[in-house]
């Protein structure tokens, strides 16, 4: 086992069987040490830095036809709990994002039965016209499959059109679990994992990069978690289009799974580490403090992660399922610094925009906070000085 760890730490490729053995049985500290060595080897001159981003997840509608069992956000079509934001509301939220130093928006919502390619073309072009400095890092293969079906066009045409309208990259949404058994168990109405990857591969070949994700803790086996990684690595070998891998944990409130199973913090940290060792062709591994907590997010920086995610100005999906962790810019920088790393604000493509190499010059702001506007959090439409829009 140590020889496999040493090989992976040095940049050698490990097999799925080896990855599964390490994930199941390698001592936690040895696994983390090897993953951190792999990170330091990969980043060499910048290995002392850990990054973050300021972004906003604008949830444009909660109406959805897929009814995933882990989701507490969606409302069925014709439900009196369904809503959609108008374009003026969305543009005001983009303006607030720019005002607070945000560089990226994630435009995500339900699979609305009326929203085809034309809907996204209209909204992306309007956002880019008003805020050309904002990167639209949004949607995923599931939304592409849905909008193409609604508009009666091919997936390739849908990607070309929304990219031309302003989409910069895909956020990797909808991956959940890619292997067949766990995917059918939690999202039976979504496309297969193979189809999800096929759409991402099409996007990569059209010049639209993406991230990749994994939802942990819905009843999948350890072997299925490693198979998820294997499926991503195989596509990445062909396209090189996945910028990052982001595992996050299932939240058990207000959904049909009702907390039947959950991933522990140790399982999560082991996944961060094994992802860094196994995904030798994916540049970045992101820690998810939003679902695991700030302490676990900070620990992920010692288990192979090079990025601590975002100050997410708005988020509704996992918050609706019970994710209660909140942060702000000052605190996120503090978490990175006290993990022994130098914080740096990054762009969507991971270039360093601002490196906070001198603590005396760290930004101090009461305004740049996560969830300053959220339908899922009581009192989250605070900060009236920012003229926030009531999310309800």
Task: State the binding site for [4Fe-4S] cluster.
Answer: 64, 68, 71
- Binding site, by residue number, is 64, 68, 71
As to burial, measured by CB atoms within 10 angstroms (0-12 exposed, 13-18 middle, 19+ buried), residue 258 is exposed
Residue 210's DSSP bridge partners are: 170, 242
How far is residue 381's CA from residue 163's CA, in Å, rounded to a whole number? 32
Q: How far is CA 330 from CA 299, 355, 365, in A?
A: 18, 14, 7
How far is residue 234's CA from residue 110's CA, in Å, rounded to a whole number? 29
| 127 touches 91 (CB < 8 A) | yes
The DSSP symbol for 390 reads: P
How far is residue 208's CA from residue 76's CA, in Å, rounded to a whole number? 31
Strand ranges, E, within 95-185: 104-108, 135-140, 169-173
How far is residue 9's CA from residue 278's CA, in Å, rounded to a whole number? 10
């Amino acid at each position: 086992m140590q020889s496999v760890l040493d090989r992976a730490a040095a940049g050698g490729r490990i097999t799925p069987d080896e990855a599964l053995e390490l994930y199941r049985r390698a001592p936690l500290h040895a696994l983390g040490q090897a993953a951190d060595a792999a990170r330091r080897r990969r980043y060499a001159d910048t290995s002392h830095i850990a990054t973050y981003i300021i972004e906003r997840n604008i949830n444009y509608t909660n109406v959805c036809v897929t009814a995933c069992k882990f989701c507490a956000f969606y409302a069925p079509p014709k439900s009196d709990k369904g809503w959609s934001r108008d374009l003026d509301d969305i543009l005001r939220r983009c303006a607030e994002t720019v005002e607070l130093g945000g560089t990226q928006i994630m435009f995500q919502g339900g699979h609305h039965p009326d929203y085809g390619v034309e809907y996204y073309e209209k909204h992306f072009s309007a956002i880019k016209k008003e805020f050309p400095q904002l990167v639209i890092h949004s949607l995923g293969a599931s939304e592409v499959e849905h909008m193409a079906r609604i508009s009666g066009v091919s997936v390739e045409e849908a990607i070309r059109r929304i990219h031309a309208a302003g989409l910069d990259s895909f956020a990797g949404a909808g991956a959940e679990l890619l292997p067949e058994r766990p995917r059918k168990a939690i999202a039976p109405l979504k496309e297969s994992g193979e189809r999800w990857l096929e759409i991402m591969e099409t996007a990569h070949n059209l010049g639209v990069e993406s991230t990749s994700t994994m939802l942990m803790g819905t009843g999948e086996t350890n072997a299925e978690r490693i198979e998820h990684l294997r499926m991503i690595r195989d596509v990445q070998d062909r396209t090189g289009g996945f910028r990052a891998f982001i595992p996050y944990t299932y939240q058990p409130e207000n959904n049909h799974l009702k907390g039947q199973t959950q991933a522990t913090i140790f399982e999560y940290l082991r996944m961060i580490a094994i992802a860094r060792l196994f995904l030798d062709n994916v540049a970045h591994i992101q820690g998810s403090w939003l679902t695991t907590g700030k302490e676990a997010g900070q620990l992920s920086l010692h288990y192979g992660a090079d990025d601590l995610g975002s100050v997410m100005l708005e988020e509704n999906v996992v918050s609706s399922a019970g994710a209660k962790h909140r942060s702000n810019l000052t605190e996120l920088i503090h978490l990175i610094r006290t993990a022994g790393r130098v914080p740096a604000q990054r762009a969507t493509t991971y270039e360093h925009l601002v490196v906070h190499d001198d603590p005396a010059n760290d930004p101090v702001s009461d305004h740049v906070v996560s969830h300053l506007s959220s339908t899922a959090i009581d009192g989250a439409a605070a900060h009236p000085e920012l003229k926030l829009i009531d999310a309800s």
